[in-house]
Structure formats: C-alpha cells, structure tokens
Amino acid sequence: MKFIRLAVVVFFVCLLSGCDKNVVYKAHEDIDDGLWYIKNKPSFKVEITDTAQAYNLYYVLRNALQYPYYNLYITRHFAGPDGKVISNTLEEVFISNEVTGKPYGHGLGDLFDHKIPFLKNYHFPRSGTYTFTISQSMRQNPLPFIISVGVSVEKVAVKE
C-alpha cells in the first residue's frame, strides 16, 4: 500500500513539475529505507550556461509524517566548475509547525514534499558545472523518515 501511495505522489510531482519551463535542473536522491546517515551525502551536478540569468535555488525534500522533528539541519557544500568551494553552509530548514506539528509541504497520505529556497536571485559567476552536496547535520544518526533529498534550480521569471 505504501508503494502505491509513493508511486502516485511521484507521478503527480513529475506531472506538475514537468510543465515548468523555468526549471533548469531538478533532481533528487532516494534515501535507502528512509534512514539518512550522516555519511550519505547526495551530490548534484548542475550545468549553467547563462550567467546573466538570475536563478532561485531550492532544496526538494520528501519526508514521512512520522519524522520526529519540526526542523532539519542541512549542510550544503557548493563548488564551482573549477572545483573550488563557493560555500559550505549549515542551514536550519523548517518542515512542520513547531507548535502544531502540521507539515508545511504538500502531502498525500503520510508523505510530504517540500520545496525550500536556499538562494534567491542568484547569479552564477561563470558558466560550467556546479556541484551541490547535501548532508544531514542532526544529532540523530541515522535520521529516520527522510525519503528523498535533492535540489531544484529555476530561472527567475522576468516580469513584463
């Protein structure tokens, strides 16, 4: 039953996100058994050709309702085409209301998808392949009920 629910969620997410012409890159990595170990650091390579364009960058996360916290500490390692580190940042993201426990994301059944901004109106300094590596930085290892983690890079829409 859980597999069917997951398949339905994946189908609708793909259907809805596939229509957005501003998405330059969107990918996620499934977390085995929903147990995110500190040593598991998904990495995403994003090819940027237009440096004049402004971009919004997002974390895309999926968690089960049973996730025991309202927040998630993520370390984001961001490297340029030359391999040099642009930033290595620890961030706290909120995935549910601290008081009520109500998830902020969009859900179906007990799975919730989140799209959380981490860079807004960002201009990449030069064209090439940028690498984003994400790791969990919570005190619990492994961190349960995190189903997938990824990034989305989207062009900032020009207002006419």
What's the CATH number where 139 sits?
Answer: 2.60.120.380
C-alpha span between 64 and 137 (Å, rounded): 18
> For residue 14, is pLDDT > 90?
no
Each residue of 84-107: pLDDT tens digit? 999 999 999 999 999 999 999 999
pLDDT of residue 15: 45
What is the pTM assigned to this prediction? 0.85
Determine, yes or no, domain membership for 85: yes
Determine, yes or no, domain membership for 106: yes
Determine, yes or no, domain membership for 160: no
Domain count within the chain: 1
Q: Domain range spanning residue 87?
A: 2-155
Determine, yes or no, domain membership for 97: yes
